[in-house]
Amino acid sequence: MTDSNCLFCKLIAGEIPSGKVYEDEYVYAFRDINPQAPVHILVVPKEHIACAAEINGENSLHVAKCFEAIAKIAEAEGLDKGYRVVNNCGDDGGQTVMHLHFHIIGGTKLSERII
């Protein structure tokens, strides 16, 4: 299912250009337009799931596929010393695009602080 008003659905469909780094049947991944670290990639399910609060037993396969892709992408990007995976959920979590996405952040030694 896609949402025709959703920025990331448009990006997945190729209606908006993106710096694609990975794609499979379930997952699309691209470079963040405003990178916060040397490597900053967004990994999204092709299925439109609005946010982490909407993950359930019916759609969790799409989330699992995102994490399989994250491991592959991190290896391809040379993040052998580690990286951070971030999900912002809802207003208080700072989510600005309402299509579930996981930030892969790395390529440098990150702060141990979460916030």
* Number of chain positions touching ligand AMP (CB under 6 A): 12
User: Could you tell me where the beta strands, DSSP code E, fall in 1-115?
Assistant: 20-23, 27-31, 39-45, 83-86, 102-106
CA distance 98 to 37: 22
Q: Is 105 in the site for ligand AMP (CB under 6 A)?
A: no
- Helix (H, G, I), strand (E, B), or coil: what is residue 29? strand
Q: Is 14 in the site for ligand AMP (CB under 6 A)?
A: no
Q: Is 6 in the site for ligand AMP (CB under 6 A)?
A: no
Q: Is 115 in the site for ligand AMP (CB under 6 A)?
A: no
If contact means CB under 5 to 8 A according to the sort of partner, which of ligand AMP, Zn ion, none does residue 32 touch?
A: ligand AMP
Q: Which residues bind ligand AMP (CB under 6 A)?
A: 7, 18, 30, 32-34, 42, 88, 94-97
Tell me the catalytic residues: 101
